[in-house]
Amino acid sequence: MDTDILKRNNVRLFGQGQQMLVFGHGFGCDQYVWSDIAPAFEEKYRVVLFDYVGAGKSDKSAYTTERYGTLHGYKQDLFDLCDALNLENIVFVGHSVSSMIGMLASIERPGLIDKMIMIAPSPYYLNEPDYHGGFEKSDIDELLDMMEINYKEWAKYLAPVVMQNEDRPNLATDFEEILCSNDPVIARQFAEVTFTSDVRSELSKVSVPTLILQTRFDAIAPPEVGRYVHKNIKGSELRVMNAAGHNPHISDSEETVRMIKEYLEN
């Protein structure tokens, strides 16, 4: 067991059972976002939580712009921690960009991932004539500029857009705090990597059973994107949730847990 890697990525393990369940957080987040999800699985699974380098309580001194200038740097984090724990045939639950990180890992290392759960995935966020990703390039440019000019104002603007659920304003307030806890420089690069990466061509290479959880309204990864991912991953299952927003694991944890359990148990 490589304790340096486990410390670097702030890896936590708990639960019983033989099957390993690894949760990967999305952009701007850390393992804290699984607080209402992971405990529901600890009786039947060995649960692994971690922070990508640069996020949460990871060792930020290990962050380099070269390694984390593409999704492959984050994929390597996943490889590293799985190697450190001698993991194989895991269930990987990835939120947002982590869905794509897990996808890339499953393609490169057959046998590492047994099943994938993608929550609000998107392989490409930009609109094209024959593809609706949800954003124009000018939208992304403005977003990145705002992060550089006034990070806290950016977080205040983005949080309610991501969370939706206007009747529960505390969700946006709490998520704003999560965003503000990030290093602005690292977060800005991760945002650029997230919103400009195009891994649509990789979807057809996925060979592991995959569940796609799509909320009924998501300003970051619209329903059209969920359908696109489902269409292009052979044999995948698409479930549309009653939840709204990009973070159903935070806003609607009970529904998220129920849908994941139904898929795994069936």
Catalytic residue chosen out of the listed positions 51, 95, 96, 122: 96
Catalytic residue chosen out of the listed positions 25, 95, 230, 246: 246
> Is 218 marked active-site?
yes
The sign of the CA dihedral 66, 70, 73, 76 is negative
Catalytic residue chosen out of the listed positions 30, 51, 77, 218: 218
Q: What is the 3-state secondary structure (H, E, C) of 122-168?
A: CCCCECECCECCCECHHHHHHHHHHHHHCHHHHHHHHHHHHHCCCCC
CA gap 200, 71 in Å, rounded = 13
> Is 30 marked active-site?
no
> Is 246 marked active-site?
yes
In this structure, the number of other CB atoms found within 10 A of the CB of residue 234 comes to 11
| CA angle (135 as vertex; 129, 140 as ends), nearest 5 | 125
Q: Hey, which residues are catalytic here?
A: 96, 218, 246
